[in-house]
Amino acid sequence: MTTPIMEPKSAKIIIYDDVLDAEEIPSHVLANIQENRKFIWWALLFLNGSCLWAYYSCLSAQTYYAARFANTTLQFGYLTTPVITWPMFIGHLVQVLFGLDKQLGLLHRVRLGYSLFILCAIAIVLQDVLDIAPSTGGVIVLVAFGTVGFTNSLTEAAFYALSALFPEAAFTNAIQLGNGTSGVINITLNTLIQLMVGGSVPAPDTTATIQRVSFYIFFSVFIAVCFMAVVVYHKLLRIPAVHYLMQRNDLETAKRHANRESLVEIWMRLGRITRVIWLPLVSQIFIFTCSLVAFPGIGIASGYQLAGDASWGNWYVNGVLLSYNYGDFVGRVLSPKLYPFFSLESCFTWTILRWGLFVCLLLGLPGDGRNPLFIMAGAHGFNIFWQLFVNFVLGLSTGVLSTITFGLGPRLVHQEDRESAGAIMCLGLFLGICIGATFGLQFGEHHWLGA
């Protein structure tokens, strides 16, 4: 079947009334989806949130990294994201181009993925428990970060692909909301653990101990979340409608395998789908490129520069992380209500215009006199608020635009192509994160504009 090029407006958040899907999915399956709708929605939210919990666990412990690796050349504020995201993008690209994602299957990808997550968490904790030299420990942590990123190409991409099999965008929205929810809870939990262990103003001689204890508790929660995710995933698979959608997708994969689909045919099929979803795909790339150029490196740098030698510098870094992630969460919560106000064309326009937020952050970056855009020298107090506010708006726009474009994109193609469409959209998401994080790393390494 040739994938039709549908108008963006035909991709609805709920499309049970769409003639195409009514013919393609039996009515009893649609009814079963409705019967189990709440559990499916919450399960997908939790599952993707658990994948992103691994990513955010690596990202959130910035104060620990700053203390643990202070005497090394490693800049974790800028290194964390690119080290995680490039293996994620490359792993997913290889799987998609060579059809390995379909050969592994969703179930095996998830089982393998969570096993690797747990091993990475143990390795990160052990380098501290064994008090390995900071230079070596830093390398171990970065290798674990890279493994977490690659593993996300197995798990997170699998959940995006699974959500794309459903005939309505609400379940892809659940995946997207899981992303935002994970960031909010993860970074909030990290901050609360630090408060409970050491209080708001810990004694200077206890700071290192407090950070280590908080770090151990934080990563123990990470391991527990991984075990819970495997249980939830298996319970989700027992729902008849979910089993039907996965079985149907597996049969389509088996048919292509039986027909000995060549690499050229795979690439032609992927190219055909890409031509249909190119607008939301490019939007995903632009959205996350902008977000990751600005976050978290610029925010962390500005936080420490604004704080100077003051003790609230570490807490302000947590505030930057919280502001972006709370904005992202609010955007994903609001996005289902905003579908009527956005088309794919308007989403693309906003992805271009929101680069102004990056400029807004630079307006408040002191840069030690090297940032010609800095205009807040006489408004230090306002600038502290300004940086948090702009990070919140950056996260808010990320949540809204990424949710809507990802929700509509896979529904521009027929049912049998939706897993591949979801995989391609996920590839765009990963690519945007990688490009943005790499540029952000360059800001940190070369201290462009005093970052």
Residue 425's Cβ-count burial label (10 Å; 0-12, 13-18, 19+) is: buried
Instruction: State residue 7's pLDDT score.
Output: 37
Give 258's pLDDT tier (boundaries 50, 70, 90).
Answer: low
pLDDT digits 0-9 by tens, 98-143? 877 667 777 788 889 999 999 999 999 999 999 899 989 999 999 9
Please count the other Cβ atoms lying within 10 Å of the Cβ belonging to residue 258.
Answer: 8
Residues 372-383 have pLDDT tens digits of 999 998 898 899
With a cut of 70, say whether residue 336 has pLDDT above it: yes
Q: Is 33 helix (H, G, I), strand (E, B) or coil?
A: helix
**Higher-confidence position of 279 and 78:** 279
Domains of the chain by start residue, with CATH: 27-261 (1.20.1250.20), 266-450 (1.20.1250)
DSSP-assigned states of every residue in 119-173: HHHHHHHHHHHTT--HHHHHHHHHHHHHHHHHHHHHHHHHHHHHHHTSSBTHHHH
In this prediction, residue 16 has a pLDDT band, given cuts at 50, 70 and 90, of: very low
CB distance 419 to 249 below 8 Å = yes
Distances (CA, A) of 59 to 54, 85, 319, 321: 9, 12, 14, 9
**Distance in Å from the first CA to the final CA of the chain:** 52
> And the tokens for 243?
């089993």
The pLDDT-based confidence of 257 (bands split at 50, 70, 90) is low
Q: Whole-prediction pTM value?
A: 0.74
Q: Cβ neighbours of residue 24 under 8 Å, at least 6 residues apart? A: 167, 414, 415
